[in-house]
Structure 1
Amino acid sequence: MPTDQTFPEYHNPPAGVPLSEDNRRTRNLPTEDGFADAALSPVQRKPVTRPGPGPKGMAEAGIVTQRVRASKLEYKTVEEIWNEREQRYKISGAVEVPKVSKLDEYLFVVRSRTYLHATQPTVYIDIKSEHLRDILRCLLEGVRAVKLDGDMPSVNRDLLFNLLPRLEGPGAEAPKARESSANAVQHLNILVDHIKAAYRETENRLQSLVSRGEITYDLLWALFKPDEGVYTLHPGTDAPMAFIFNSAMEKKGQDIPYFGMDGHCFDFHGIGFGQTRIVVCIARFSGVVRISDLRVFPLQYHPEKEKVKSRLRVNGKKFIDMMSGRHCYYKGIAHIELERAKIYRLGVDGRIMVDPHRFRQVNPNYPKLRETNWLKCSGKKTSDLSEDDLLFFAPTLFGFSFKDKFWGEFAIDNTSEVTWSEASFDQVVIPQGRKEIILTITDRYLATTRGEEEVRPDDLILHKGRGKVMLLSGPPGVGKTLTVEALAESKQRPLYAISMGQLSSDAADLDIQLREIFETAARWGAILLFDEADVYLARRSPENIERSRLIAAFLQTLEYFDGVIFLTTNQEQSFDPAILSRIHLTFTYEKLNRDARRKIWQFFIINAGGTSINKVELDSLATVNIDGRQIRNTMSIARDLAAKDGDLQFSHIKSALSTCSISVLEPGFTAVGHGLYD
């Protein structure tokens, strides 16, 4: 980034510091060997023999002069250019010396390097003073963008300008007081004065813009400060998030300049809690824009800063609570990252399972999980986090959408507790004895997932035959699927429902797919449902080898499942005998009779608030010979029709039935010899 002032070759010390004779001489006329290469590392400090005045010189008189590191309370500016012959950057006019460089005698060197194809030079501060280096290490401890671990480290001067509050603000007093050497504070003050002078015009421009809540593209680098919070929206879910800013650099993508930023936030990758890298950018723009209109901007400039910070803290706490796994409701955008930074987004409205550990097992090559995207954690545990730390959590967790069969990232801000319909199983219209059997078997096997009971295997082979498979058979619309859905509600367990059309038609892929499904369902203690199972599990024939392989894969995986599986079918007679032999219980559903239809109508009418529908009208509806699914669909249309009139009326239901060309008998009438009515 450009700075605003061009400096002379030598610079005066602060007022009150006397100049030596050597200093006076070197300030007036620099000599050739004064341009030693700043990039050279110091070597052993051997005495340097210099010729002095007089015919014999100082060497002949036995007098030697030894250079002392950081002995001059001055700094020096040099320019570095690319040397094509040597294929490296060299200080202009420099002479290589095998001894201690003359530049090492200064507190620091201001080194200007113009990179290839760059329009402006990049300026570095090469620190020579040990006192200055040590106090900077103390003041800038924890700042990731600053590397001060070398003997004579270099720091980008723009970065030091952004860190001026740390060098001279209230927070700097305690570290300065702990520093025993007065030289360290003196050397630091010389550096601070230099930075202030170099960026005086930049600071004036910046403050003028920021006071109006505005910024220009060329000053973005001065707006973002290391280790400060930055606000943005998550690119996959549009969820609000904040991260800690580390560093930035102007880059080019497809010849379009952009301001690229690097930061980090707390995250959980399925194995351990740590910090993940965040990379965002701002495309080049012209003129002046409002800071809060930027795609990314410092959190302190948000117009509703306190409200946003409160929301982020809540999400941080939810993240910690949910990162080990949680069954919850989700409404919003979810996403999954594909290769080459492509993002697939999906609107989700339903129940999900948050489970980063299982996501990692199923998607081991997911880009975000690569080690290069994970930073070394500071050693903090979740129990040690402060309220400010809670601001800087990833806005998403890995999970699975049961409705969409979709593994992806889900915004914590869009999650809520599941609302269970515990009484729904009581409303299922099936014989009471059948309900009790289903409940008893399910209760026993769900208890094993909570560690309350150990189920002995039914097979001689270890880990084989410990699950229970139940087949629900009958015509469409009699409540087979509803039975399983209501059971999951009453037991407050996830329902993992698989349509057989979602499975692979390749036997090898199917085997992998089924193992993944069964292992996932067992981990979550979910009730597993394979709907319309006859599509895959129909009787094998010698000429259909591929179907035989599919059934063999299903049988092999089924043997080792440790849980409860429900299969539904409209055609039990078409099942392969080997599948039927693995089924523990089969329940056959009969076609709905008038009494069953009456109960179903009554359930939906009560749920819809149809209090004005009387017993005679309900009996009239029960005579219509339709199945449960048709009743549900009819009531859905009736509720829409009633929305404009207020309460649900009998007339609304009649109108809904008429859309399917079904007429309802007037209350009290009986149809004789008509198949549509009972």
Structure 2
Amino acid sequence: MVPNRIKYGVEDNVKKLYEGPQKCSCCINWVEEYPDNLRENLLATNEVKQHAIVTKYMRNHKGDKPLVLHSIDIQSSILKVVLEEVFEGYSGITTGLDNLSFAAPFQAFFRRLDRLEEGSRNRDDPKALYQTKLLYEIINNELKESVEIFKDLVAHKVITFEYLWALFTPGEMIRTEKDRIFLLNDADYGNSGGFTLWVRFIDWDGTQFGYDRATISIPKFDGTRPITDLEGYPASFDPGLDGVKATLVMKGKKFEELQGFHYMAHRGMVVEANAGVWSFGSETRHVEGRIIVDAGSYFRFNPHEVKSLKSLDDQGKLLEIPGMLKNTDIHNSTFTSSYDAHYGSYNRTPREVTKPYRYSDDRPLTDNELILCTQSVRGFSLKTKHWASFAVADISNIKWDENAFESLVLPSNYKQLILSFVEGQLHYKDDFDDVIEGKGRGIIILLAGVPGVGKTLTAESVAETLRAPLYSMTAGELSLDATNLEESLTKILEISTKWNSVLLLDEADVFLEQRSSSHLERNKLVSIFLRMLEYYRGILFLTTNRLSAFDSAFQSRIHITINYPPLSSSARSQIWRNFLLLAPNKPKPSEPLAPDISVSESSAPPKAAGTTSDVQTLVPDSHHTRVETHAPLLTSISEAEIMKLAEIDLNGRQIKNVVKTSRLLARRLGKSLGIEEVNTVLEATSPNLLSESIKNEIS
């Protein structure tokens, strides 16, 4: 005979079970009778399974009550339907489970007690109404004291550590002291003794927007704390929340606009992702200068920081909390963020890999999403040559020097020739190619001359005129080991091409010198450099002090060679004027860096040289300087004094340094820059260059 099948939750009553003698170390022995008269464990018995609700009590080892409610099991299918309505949108609760259990202190019921009460009064089904009333009476009796205490605390806008669990509701917005807003996934007491908030925010990984994860830790404290003094607290307690939201929406829009890659200016602290351009490490420093915002390249060259973001559209059921975004339960996912680790005081846990999600560019972020955006972007500092995270608030549009190329004293036909090459390369790089596909698409310009005559300034001025990034490097920044050189150069050429950069290699002699049988290692470097240039698709300026030592193989690869002769007196006077014009004004962070020098050239036509039709060598005449009309000098130095200063044999870089030091001296003395300060600096730094007549003239 087949026994009757047990029907779960059909009896309209409550079954009490009690903690009995311990039988194992991993679970509690639940019994039917009061612990003074123990019987066998009854959880698995048919009689227990028939009850709609099972409450479990355990011995109380502190306090006045001998027993405390441990947990509640919901076995009634009717009651589970009711609870589905009560917990609609509540993260982490699936009411349809066969084993639906709630453990003390019953945070979920605490947050939805009003809904449960409403359900206990408004039910068409008498059986559902009765079972809901039973559950409400149990929960209300258990939470009544906690509710009263919590309401009293909140009325005074304070909280105790013991009642933090009651303060936070999954799905609500969390405000932090850093004027950030996060979305709460979960909150609980941690093993370390503190209280942890698992939150999420919106980030960009180079191809998509999505949710990333973080944790906020609240250390254990005694007594009460103002709610708004917590490391993280419900945003609804902030009286200025509307203003904070408005500010975050604006910052979020700026963050959204910075997807892709952008050439920008920056002034502020950064968190560097590595100790070198392509190496690991981390460092915080102040950076003022031009940057490239490019999260895609950041993660490509820093694969240890690659992110997995959760889809913005994977919201799950929605929480009915005013002003809150809706969420899914992802509190087991984790995240590491360099910028927020330094600036947000949020403790991170290791990242969990999830399936990538591609964001649709057709859907802009909503205001509710914009306020959750991180406040940093990733990219590259052209000044420090480091990948880093930059605060969105510290990023601005570049204030271009509209006269950069005009102030370069080169003959106009030289300028037009240089610009025609580089502009053509930027806009029509695919129109010219070698017989072998991929070769010969770059433009290489060689600038030759002694230090301080204007080589670097030429490249800077071209980049400024084209509004293109200038990636400047020296031979010292590249490895002299053949294997490492190829790896580093490959990466630099790759990103320079992607960013349409003007690439400048200063002091390139070591890679361009004539090969010989006695220097095999250097021969490798030259060969690698030659091969890499063959396939480079961008604009490259090379500077050298020793043109005569070049390997002959480079001659056919260089499109223009400009020889810079030593500066003439008239050229130096022009440089003095240029830097004295800048002297009273401190450069702004978004302005281009002051050029190394300004060079004086003639307007004589260029002379052709080389073996191919696209190779030209330009030799400016330093004795016939074309001087433009200049604005009045904002110093007390006269034109006659400038002409005397020009007789001193200084190069452009030295003149810049003298003016800079003189300006600092004048500022220290509380006066405008005059010839006395310049004379003091010259006598201290270049006494051997000053003749007695010059000393007398400028003193």
TM range (shorter): 0.7 to 0.9
| Residue 515 of structure 2 is aligned to residue 532 of structure 1 | no
C-alpha distance in 2 between matches for 1:656 and 1:513:
41
Counterpart pick for 1:365 among 285, 291, 304: 304
| Bigger shift: residues 241-250 or 104-113 | 104-113
* Residues matched between the structures, number: 587
What secondary structure does 1:270 align onto? coil
Structure 1 SS opposite 2:521 = helix
Question: Any idea what SS the aligned residue of 2:80 has?
Answer: helix
Return the match for 1:72 from 12, 17, 23: 12
Partner of residue 174, structure 2: 230
1:310 alignment counterpart = 246
**Correspondences of 1:164-313 after superposition (within 5 Å):** 164=112, 167=115, 191-232=135-176, 240-252=179-191, 256-302=192-238, 304-313=240-249
Q: Distance in 1 between matches of 2:281 and 2:95?
A: 37
Q: CA deviation at 1:273?
A: 2.0
Larger RCO: Structure 1 or Structure 2 (Cα < 8 Å, ≥ 6 residues apart)?
A: 2
What is the deviation of 1:282?
A: 2.6
Equivalent pair of 1:148/1:154 in contact (CA under 8 Å): no
* Distance change >3 Å, CA 376–CA 623, structure 1 → 2: closer
* Correspondence for 2:4 among 47, 58, 63: 47
Give 2:411's aligned amino acid: P
CA distance in 2, matches of 1:483, 1:378: 42
**After superposition, where does 1:646-657 map in structure 2 within 5 Å?**
647-657=672-682
- Cα shift readout 1:443-489 (whole Å, capped 9, x = no counterpart): 101113xxxx74220x2111111111111111111111111112111
Check the 8 A contact 1:111/1:126 in 2, yes or no: no
Give the 3 Å change call, closer, same or farther, for CA 68–445 of structure 1 in structure 2: same
Q: State how far apart, in whole Å, the 1-side matches of 2:248 and 2:383 are.
A: 28
Q: 1:84 aligns with which of 3, 17, 24?
A: 24
Q: Measured at CA, do residues 581 and 569 of structure 1 come closer, stay the same or move farther in structure 2, by a change above 3 Å?
A: same
Identity of aligned residues (%): 30
In the alignment, structure 1 residue 415 sits paired with structure 2 residue 395: yes
Deviates more, 1:351-360 or 1:537-546: 537-546
Structure 2 equivalent of residue 320 of structure 1:
256
Structure 1 residues 226 and 632: alpha-carbon distance in aligned structure 2, compared to 1, 3 A threshold: same
Q: Distance in 2 between matches of 1:143 and 1:330?
A: 42
In structure 2, what is the Cα distance between the partners aligned to 1:378 and 1:109?
47
**Does the 8 Å CA contact 2:56/2:69 hold for their aligned counterparts?**
no
Secondary structure of 2:367's aligned partner: coil
Partner residue, 1:391: 371
How much has 1:525 moved relative to structure 2? 1.1
Contact residue 185 and residue 198 of structure 2 kept, 8 A? yes
Q: How much is the aligned-residue C-alpha RMSD, in angstroms?
A: 4.0
- Counterpart of 2:657 in structure 1 is 633
Contact 1:532 1:567 in 2 (8 A): yes
- Give the match's secondary structure for 2:180: strand
User: What residue ranges of structure 1 are gaps of 5+ in the alignment?
Assistant: 1-44, 49-65, 115-119, 234-238
1:566 aligns to 2:546 (yes or no): no
**In terms of mean alpha carbon deviation, does 197-206 or 417-426 score higher?**
197-206
Q: How does 1:85-104 map to 2 (within 5 A)?
A: 91-92=30-31, 95=41, 102-103=48-49
Q: Does 1:344 align with 2:344?
A: no
The structural deviation recorded for 1:167 is: 3.6
Give distance in 1, aligned partners of 2:73 and 2:440. Answer: 71
The CA distance in 2 between the partners of 1:422 and 1:126, in whole Å, is: 75
The 1:298/1:568 distance shift into structure 2, 3 A limit, reads: farther
Q: Is the CA contact 1:113–1:123 (under 8 Å) kept in the aligned structure 2?
A: no
Indicate if the aligned counterparts of 2:569 and 2:647 stay in contact, CA closer than 8 A: yes
1:433 is aligned to 2:413: yes
Q: Give the 3 Å change call, closer, same or farther, for CA 583–312 of structure 1 in structure 2.
A: same
Alignment partner of 1:595 out of 565, 570, 585 = 570
SS at match of 1:425: coil
Tell me: CA distance 1:243–1:618, structure 2 relative to 1, closer, same or farther (3 Å). same
Query: Would you say the 8 A contact 1:80–1:91 is kept in 2?
Result: yes
Contact preservation (8 Å) 2:9, 2:52: yes
8 A contact 2:29–2:41 mirrored in 1: no
SS at match of 2:352: helix
CA distance in 1, matches of 2:644, 2:418: 33
CA deviations on 1:143-183 (whole Å, 9 max, x unpaired) are 444344634434455430453278469xx99xx99x98676
SS in 2 for 1:271: coil
Change in 2 beyond 3 A, CA 1:270/1:108: farther
Could you tell me whether the CA contact under 8 Å between 2:274 and 2:387 is conserved in 1? no
Residue in structure 2 matched with residue 59 of structure 1 by the alignment: none
Q: 1:491 to 1:599 in 2, by over 3 A?
A: same
Give the Cα separation in 2 of the matches to 1:670 and 1:378. 73
Out of 425, 450, 454, the residue aligned to residue 479 of structure 1 is 454
TM-score normalised by length of structure 1:
0.76
Distance 1:215 1:469, change over 3 A: same
Residue 606 (structure 1) aligns with: 581
Look up the match of 2:380.
Answer: 400
Give, in angstroms, the shift of residue 46 of structure 1.
6.1
Aligned residue in 2 for 1:23: none
Per-residue CA shift, 1:88-129, capped at 9, x if unaligned? 565456646877562452246568799xxxxx9995543333
Other structure's SS at 2:213 match: strand
Deviation at 1:303, TM superposition (A): 6.3
Pick the aligned partner of 1:464 from 410, 420, 439: 439
Distance in 1 (alpha carbons) for counterparts of 2:245 and 2:203: 18
Q: Say whether the 8 Å CA contact 1:140–1:166 is kept in structure 2.
A: no
- Which ranges in structure 2 are unaligned for 5 or more consecutive residues? 32-38, 61-66, 309-334, 336-350, 585-632
- The separation in 1 between residues aligned to 2:638 and 2:219, in whole angstroms, is 66
Which sits farther off after the overlay, 583-592 or 631-640?
A: 631-640
Change (3 A) 1:337 1:494: closer
Distance 1:659 1:463, change over 3 A: same
Q: Per the alignment, do residues 226 and 624 of structure 1 end up closer, same or farther by CA in structure 2, a change over 3 Å counting?
A: same
Change beyond 3 A, Cα 1:513–1:376: closer
2:99 is aligned with 1:160: no
Distance 1:96 1:216 in 2: 38
Using the TM superposition, name which of 186-195 and 212-221 deviates more: 186-195
Task: Give distance in 2, aligned partners of 1:214 and 1:489.
Answer: 56
1:127 aligns with 2:74: yes
Looking at structure 1, the residues matched to 134 and 571 of structure 2 have their Cα atoms a distance apart, in angstroms, of 91
Structure 2 counterpart of 1:572, which letter? Answer: L
Structure-2 change in CA distance of 1:618 and 1:447 (3 Å): same
Show the counterpart of 1:620.
Answer: 644
Q: 1:153 to 1:573 in 2, by over 3 A?
A: farther
Deviation at residue 541 of structure 1 after TM alignment: 4.0
What secondary structure is seen at the aligned counterpart in 1 of 2:247? helix
Displacement of 1:637: 2.2
